[in-house]
Structure 1
Amino acid sequence: MSDILKSKKGSIKQAPLPEESPSWDEFGEMLWEEIEAGAEANQPGFKVVRKLLSDKRFDK
């Protein structure tokens, strides 16, 4: 996941995350598969992060 974040604009980390969700640093240590699984399980913040990372507007 850290490789994905490197290809994104730094401003992506300014996006607010829901309460009780992992921090951006914690998301950075996860695998993409973990993000997908968390989003499918409806865990706080995972859908937001998946959507932001998939959005081409944040590409460098």
Structure 2
Amino acid sequence: MSEILKYKRGSIKQAPLTEGSPNWDEFSEMYWEEIEAGVEANQPGFKVVRKLLSDKRFDK
């Protein structure tokens, strides 16, 4: 996911994440497949991160 974050605005990391979710540094070390698996497992914060990374408004 660190490759994806390179093409996103830095302000994306200011988005609040739900309690109990990994922080942005932990998310940046994950693969997209891990994000998708977290969404499917309904883990906290994963849906928000996937939505933000998929949103074209945060592209550079």
TM-score (norm. length: structure 1): 0.99
Deviation at 1:29, TM superposition (A): 0.2
How far apart, in 2, do the equivalents of 1:39 and 1:48 lie? Answer: 9
Which residue number in structure 2 is paired with residue 28 of structure 1? 28
AA matched with 2:35: I
Unaligned runs of 5+ in 1: none
**CA-atom RMSD, angstroms?**
0.3
Identity of paired residues, percent?
Answer: 85
User: 1:14 maps to which residue?
Assistant: 14
TM-fit CA distance, 1:31: 0.2
Please list every run of at least 4 consecutive aligned residues from structure 1 whose deviation after the TM superposition is greater than 6 angstroms: none
TM-score, normalised relative to structure 2: 0.99
In the alignment, structure 2 segments of 5+ residues that lack a partner are: none
CA separation in 2, counterparts of 1:12 and 1:58? 7
